[in-house]
Amino acid sequence: MKASLLAAVALCAAAIASAQPPNPPTPQQKAAWEARRMDRLALLLDLSSAQKAEVQMILETERTKAQAAFAQFKSSGTRPTREQMQALRTQIKADTDSQLSGVLSALQVQKFNALHQGFGGPRFRRHRHGPPPGSAPPSGPGTQD
């Protein structure tokens, strides 16, 4: 019994020791993922080929602006406040929305916003501990009063 338990533990230890972290995606894999993402977006928004190219350029510009801002914060050595980050995201989103409204129809903009509404919203905050912001703390048996 001890021998089989010891063998099982040794086998598990060997498996854990030989496990390697996943490889980060290569640039080709990232490009393929972005291409599939744009194809899905074009299908969902019913984009023409010209609109697809312009939207792709606008979204790449948005990403570049965000990455540059984050790099600037990182190089300055200071950590931005939550308000600074939110203001930066709001400004970048407003710029992107104004550019997209010049390329897309009102219905396409509405669909785009509906598709991107969930990102960063409550469904991504459900793993935090404690009550949702603005709600009363839980009360009842098992809670501290």
CA separation, residue 30 to residues 35, 39, 124, 131 (Å): 9, 14, 23, 37
21 located within any domain: no
Nearest to 108 by CA among 63, 32, 50: 50
94 located within any domain: yes
> CB-based contacts of 19: which residues, under 8 Å, 6+ apart?
none
103 located within any domain: yes
18 located within any domain: no
pLDDT of residue 145: 47
pLDDT in tens, 101-110: 999 999 999 9
pLDDT in tens, 36-56: 999 999 999 999 999 999 999
22 located within any domain: no
Mean per-residue pLDDT for 134-142? Answer: 59
Query: Residue 14: pLDDT above 60?
Result: yes
CA separation, residue 76 to residues 54, 67, 79 (Å): 33, 14, 8
Q: What is the pTM of this model?
A: 0.63
Mean per-residue pLDDT for 86-106? Answer: 93
64 located within any domain: yes
25 located within any domain: no
pLDDT in tens, 20-38: 667 888 889 888 988 999 9
Range(s) of the domain holding residue 90: 42-116
49 located within any domain: yes
pLDDT in tens, 100-137: 999 999 999 999 988 887 665 554 444 555 555 666 65
Domain count across the chain: 1
